[in-house]
């Protein structure tokens, strides 16, 4: 058994995040039997009976194919409390109902989390309390700094888990093995041999009824400010001496501290666009600004691209292109390392398929190495060949993995305070340029690859 957490309290239990991601991951974690023994309490603003809540938990566990005895036991005895988590009296009532050390998981929008943490300070928390917080952490650099200052007055930094489920993706974790358990890659992992790095997360999903959250975030904050910059930090970090929380997170933060928008110019280093009506896989998709709950005045982007540079000895001069968008034609979700071309190709060879590249795909989980070799037939013609390997799926969905970290109070896969602040600092000039309208909001058809002019 993992000592410690006696009760997991999900604040925002009635929300979409809890239903679609958190609870299925939790069910898988229970089935994986990694030694946790806790009670579950759901807290939400809406009225719900214990039985309704239990049915909801069981449904979400089933959606994650978690139907084992431990998942069933937790779903069968969980309780639901109706509460306004920004009110100290309600928080006292919640804390009075926990047994053992609580883990409080804020599955709430950033503004509500900030207000709840302020209220929690007047109440105090039991010794050993662990906090789990969803991204986006704060709404900008200043609010993230203020929230960090508040949180450490509640519990020590080591008990604060800023959750980013991309750090629980098995292929993101495989990057560590690929880089640091193979001598061959580390030798070429620098500006001397790498031309550019692309980190891309194109989704075919559109808004999915999430206007309340997404319309205020947009693609840049939803994906690049958090997930993609952290993936970049793993791709670009110096080899840590161990995988413990201090070494790993220290190495990641160092990369982020060295990162700036390309050429220091947010206008030339970024692009944004919003989808119009179209169709994906035969389903009609309405224009983003016609979706219920969207305020067209906010000019929220659904596709964002930012180029950054890492200003250190290893990476100076290599552009890192980060891109993510919704309602696109393909799920291209990958990290692509494009190597520099060879310094000289012996005279006599024909054909040039371009430089070698390494593609780490997050969907499906695989690695592909594109190399140039002598083609079939004429041995003096250079052709492309692909070496590829698919990874077996991880034991659990990413949320199971990050929840394991929270419930074991192991911060290795949670984002440290300084890393979150660096991520906001990196995107701040882009957000400012977009707010001033210095970068046009382009448009693309839902189901396309993006604006025609970007191709």
Would you say 430 and 218 are in contact if contact means Cβ atoms under 8 Å apart? no
| Residue 203 C-beta: closest distance to ligand BG6, Å | 5
Give yes or no for residue 393 binding ligand BG6 (CB under 6 A).
no
Between CA 455 and CA 452 the distance in angstroms is: 6
The reply, when asked if residue 331 is annotated as ligand binding, is: yes
Residue number with CB closer to ligand BG6 (117 or 163): 163
Whether 227 is catalytic is yes
| Residue 292 C-beta: closest distance to ligand BG6, Å | 17
Tokens 């919003």, residue?
Answer: 274
Residue from 205, 298, 385, 453 in contact with ligand BG6 (CB under 6 A): 205
Give yes or no for residue 203 binding ligand BG6 (CB under 6 A).
yes
> Would you call 362 helix, strand, or coil by DSSP?
strand
Which of the residues 36, 161, 227, 404 is marked catalytic?
Answer: 227
Residue number with CB closer to ligand BG6 (203 or 291): 203
| Residue 130 C-beta: closest distance to ligand BG6, Å | 21
The reply, when asked if residue 194 is annotated as ligand binding, is: no
| Residue 436 C-beta: closest distance to ligand BG6, Å | 25
Between CA 132 and CA 127 the distance in angstroms is: 16
- Write out the two tokens for 255: 């990369």
| Residue 222 C-beta: closest distance to ligand BG6, Å | 5
Which residues are bridge partners to 370 per DSSP? 357, 386
**∠ at Cα 55 (52, 58), nearest 5°?**
150
> Would you call 247 helix, strand, or coil by DSSP?
helix
Helices (H), 300-415: 398-407
Nearest to ligand BG6 by Cβ — which residue?
222
Give yes or no for residue 198 binding ligand BG6 (CB under 6 A).
no
Residues 210-239 that bind ligand BG6 (CB under 6 A): 222
The reply, when asked if residue 19 is annotated as ligand binding, is: no
Phi, psi of 72 (to 5 degrees): -65, -40
Residue number with CB closer to ligand BG6 (134 or 370): 134
The reply, when asked if residue 335 is annotated as ligand binding, is: no
Residue number with CB closer to ligand BG6 (17 or 357): 17
The reply, when asked if residue 388 is annotated as ligand binding, is: no
Tokens 């959750």, residue?
Answer: 163
- Write out the two tokens for 409: 């109070």
Residue number with CB closer to ligand BG6 (190 or 204): 204
The reply, when asked if residue 150 is annotated as ligand binding, is: no
Residue number with CB closer to ligand BG6 (155 or 360): 360
| Residue 226 C-beta: closest distance to ligand BG6, Å | 7
Instruction: Estimate to the nearest angstrom the gap between the alpha carbon of 69 and the chain centroid.
Output: 30
Count of residues in contact with ligand BG6, rule CB under 6 A? 3
Helices (H), 97-242: 110-123, 141-154, 170-180, 183-188, 211-219, 229-236
- Taking each continuous run of H as one helix and of E as one strand, the counts in the chain are 14, 19
Q: What is the dihedral of CA 183, 246, 200, 177, to 10 degrees?
A: 30
| Residue 249 C-beta: closest distance to ligand BG6, Å | 20
Q: What is the DSSP string of 73-124?
A: HHHHH-EEEE--TTSHHHHHHHHHT--SEEEEEE-S-HHHHHHHHHHHHHH-
* Residues 3-27: b if buried by 16+ CB within 10 A, e if exposed: ebbbbbbbbbbbbebbbbbbbbbbb
The reply, when asked if residue 216 is annotated as ligand binding, is: no
**Mask for 70-109, x = binds ligand BG6 (CB under 6 A):** ----------------------------------------
Residue number with CB closer to ligand BG6 (310 or 402): 402
**Mask for 111-150, x = binds ligand BG6 (CB under 6 A):** ----------------------------------------
What are the residues binding ligand BG6 (CB under 6 A)? 203, 205, 222
Binding residues for NADP(+): 84-85, 135
Binding residue positions: 84-85, 135, 165, 169, 203, 222, 326, 331
Q: Residues forming the annotated binding site for substrate?
A: 165, 169, 203, 222, 326, 331
**Residues annotated as part of the active site:** 227
């Amino acid at each position: 058994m993992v000592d410690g957490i006696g009760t997991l309290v999900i604040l925002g239990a009635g929300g979409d995040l809890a239903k679609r991601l958190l609870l299925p991951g939790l069910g898988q974690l229970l089935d994986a039997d990694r030694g946790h023994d806790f009670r579950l309490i759901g807290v939400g603003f809406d009225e719900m009976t214990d039985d309704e809540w239990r049915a909801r938990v069981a449904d979400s566990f089933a959606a994650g194919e978690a139907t084992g005895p431990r998942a069933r036991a937790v779903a069968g005895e969980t309780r639901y409390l109706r509460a306004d988590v920004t009110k100290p009296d309600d928080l006292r009532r919640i804390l009075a109902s926990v047994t053992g050390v609580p883990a409080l998981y804020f599955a709430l929008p950033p503004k509500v989390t900030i207000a709840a943490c302020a209220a929690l300070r007047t109440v105090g928390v039991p010794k050993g309390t662990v906090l789990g917080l969803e991204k986006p952490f704060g709404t900008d650099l200043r609010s993230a700094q203020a929230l960090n200052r508040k949180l450490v007055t509640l519990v020590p930094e080591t008990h604060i888990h800023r959750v980013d489920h991309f750090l629980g993706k098995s292929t993101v974790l495989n990057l560590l093995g690929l880089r640091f358990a193979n001598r061959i890659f580390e030798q070429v992992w620098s500006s001397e041999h790498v031309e550019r790095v692309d980190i891309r997360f194109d989704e075919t999903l559109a808004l999915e009824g999430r206007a309340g959250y997404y319309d205020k975030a947009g693609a840049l904050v939803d994906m690049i400010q958090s997930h993609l910059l952290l993936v970049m930090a793993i791709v670009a970090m110096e080899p840590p001496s161990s995988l413990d929380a201090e070494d790993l997170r220290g190495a990641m933060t160092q990369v982020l501290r060295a990162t700036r928008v390309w050429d220091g110019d947010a206008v030339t280093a970024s692009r944004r666009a919003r989808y119009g009506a179209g169709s994906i896989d035969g389903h009609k998709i309405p224009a983003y600004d016609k979706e219920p709950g969207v305020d067209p005045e906010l000019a929220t982007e659904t596709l964002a691209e930012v180029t950054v540079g890492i200003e250190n000895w290893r990476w100076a001069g290599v552009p890192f292109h980060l891109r993510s968008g919704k309602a696109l034609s393909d799920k291209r979700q990958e990290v692509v390392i494009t190597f520099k071309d060879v310094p000289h190709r012996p005279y006599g060879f024909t054909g040039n398929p371009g430089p070698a590249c390494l593609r780490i795909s997050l969907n499906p989980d695989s690695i592909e190495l594109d190399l140039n070799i002598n083609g079939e037939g004429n041995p003096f013609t250079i052709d492309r060949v692909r070496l590829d390997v698919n990874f077996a799926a991880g034991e659990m969905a990413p949320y199971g993995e990050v929840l394991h970290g929270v419930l074991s109070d192991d911060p290795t896969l949670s984002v440290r305070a300084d890393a979150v602040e660096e991520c906001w600092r990196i995107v701040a000039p882009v957000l400012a340029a977009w707010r001033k309208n210095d970068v046009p909001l382009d448009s693309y058809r839902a189901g396309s690859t993006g604006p025609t002019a970007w191709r």
